[in-house]
Amino acid sequence: MTNENAKYVGMDVGKGWLDIAVWGEAKINKVSNDPAGVSELVEQMSELEPALVVVEATGGYERLVVEELFSSGFPVSVANPTRVRALAKATGKLAKTDDIDAALIAEYAAKVQPAPVDSKTESELHLRALVTRRGQLLEMRTAEKNRLKTAHRSMKVDIGEHIDWISARVQELESEMLRLIQSLPDWQKQVQLMESIPGIGFITAVTILAELPELGQLNRQKIAALAGLAPFNRDSGKKRGKRRIFGGRKGVRRVLYMACLSAIKHNPIIRKFFNRLTEKGKLFKVAITACMRKMLTIMNAMTRDQSHWKSQEMAAG
């Protein structure tokens, strides 16, 4: 239930600007989405003392303000835009401007009150940045390789050199990830635990650790939904639509897909599960998605058990 005296803040994030609304107030504030603007925003939040600040996820443009609010001790939640728009449709608010979006996000904060995300340590933020940058470089390398096939001969050397540079930089980032993991014993144990599953390699384990910090803290249904691997029904009346997955964290799905391609060859449990599904006539994409969900469930259970025993040891100590 919403506390009438509590302040709920909604924030629409753009590349250049942040539009800020407080639930129940008509005024929309605007600051620049840069260090100076975010510093001004933090001062405003210190005076307001909000019960919750909800920031809409916007492809990374929200990262600066979220990190600064976290480090300043404010309760912050990063909202999925799909869920915010679902509230807009449910309440008949179909118009869309930055001001309207900010007010809608504030309404979402007050009525839904999503749980604040735990503050991230500097090491966690660093690891996630490394994983994100590596993914960006891999996409660039794929694009350059595709260009190389049709490029004029005068450009082939230039493109080839760029591909080599990207590959070298990817290796440097992976080495930096390894050094970071080795410097943190808890992370190292968790990565080693995941790597013990046939099909899961270092990059897959680190990516999941960075992009799915909730692993081991939620049940299998919720962790699958976070990763975008939980199938949702599309039924209406007597019509039974196909169950589909959508949303979630695509970086996790990307590495799990590659891991499953290896696991159906080298992991007896996943191979048996995959074969059983295909023998029943399931399409490859359906079977491989189910395997991805199963592998994530296994990792979630293993991580939860590890956390359980760790807490038991701490209590005993």
**How far apart are alpha carbons 169 and 186 in whole angstroms?**
27
Phi, psi of 26 (to 5 degrees): -80, -25
Domain CATH number, residue 34: 3.30.420.10
Helices 250-266, 202-211: crossing angle, 10 deg rounding: 150
Q: Is residue 2 part of a domain?
A: no
Show the domain range for 308. 185-235+242-317
Q: Is residue 298 part of a domain?
A: yes
For every one of its 317 residues, what pLDDT tens digit does the chain have, with 9 covering 90 and above?
Answer: 556 678 999 999 988 999 999 998 988 999 999 999 999 999 999 999 999 999 988 877 888 898 888 888 899 988 888 888 888 888 777 767 767 888 999 999 999 888 787 655 678 878 988 999 999 999 999 999 999 999 999 999 999 999 999 999 999 999 999 999 998 888 899 999 999 999 999 999 999 998 888 888 888 888 888 888 877 555 445 555 455 555 578 889 999 999 999 999 999 999 999 999 999 999 999 999 999 999 999 999 988 876 544 444 433 33
Could you say which of 94, 112, 130 is where a domain stops? 112
Indicate if 33 and 126 belong to the same structural domain. Answer: no
- Token duo for residue 146: 């595709």
Q: Which long-range contacts (CB under 8 A, 24 or more apart) does 282-289 make?
A: 288/257, 288/260, 288/261, 288/264, 289/229, 289/231, 289/245
Indicate if 194 and 317 belong to the same structural domain. Answer: yes
pTM, rounded to two decimals:
0.64
Q: Is residue 1 part of a domain?
A: no
Q: Is residue 274 part of a domain?
A: yes
Domains identified in the chain, total number:
3
Q: Is residue 216 part of a domain?
A: yes
Could you say which of 64, 91, 112 is where a domain stops? 112
